[in-house]
Amino acid sequence: MGSDQEFTFGLDHDSQVKDQSELRPPQMYRVILHNDHYTTMEFVIDVLVNIFHKSASEATCITLDIHRSGCGLCGIYSYDIARTKVSQVHRLARAQEFPLKCTFEEA
């Protein structure tokens, strides 16, 4: 055990450098709110302000987009954050008995 050998655990220095250079940014996802005939515009604005951290004026513009075109973009996030935000919207909407639909898709 007194040897001065360096243990690499099966990896050489060249493969470690190569692996690090192949790192890519995470896939991003668009979070979308969908229009329905029951959820109030005030509630949608609250969701955009409290969950997506939009300003009141930006939330109002997005809400009007949702109302006019049927859906609106809330933001673009990594997978885990997008999934969490969709879950938060659904939980809050159900607590208020609104059928608000929120989805995410690859950006």
**Burial class for 84, CB neighbours closer than 10 Å (0-12, 13-18, 19+):** middle
More confident residue, 5 or 92: 92
Write out the chain in H/E/C secondary structure: CCCCCCCCCCCCHHHHHHHHHCCCCCCEEEEEEECCCCCCHHHHHHHHHHCCCCCHHHHHHHHHHHHHHCEEEEEEEEHHHHHHHHHHHHHHHHHCCCCCEEEEEEC
Residue 53 belongs to domain with CATH number: 3.30.1390.10
- Label residue 12 by pLDDT band (50, 70, 90): low
- Count of domains observed in the chain: 1
Give per-residue pLDDT as tens, 17-59. 555 678 889 999 999 999 999 999 999 999 999 999 999 999 9
* Residue 106 domain-assigned (yes or no): yes
* Residue 102 domain-assigned (yes or no): yes
* Residue 51 domain-assigned (yes or no): yes
**pLDDT at position 22:** 81
**Domain containing 57: what range?**
36-71+79-107
* Residue 12 domain-assigned (yes or no): no
The pTM (predicted TM-score) of the whole model is: 0.79
Give per-residue pLDDT as tens, 84-100. 999 999 999 999 999 99
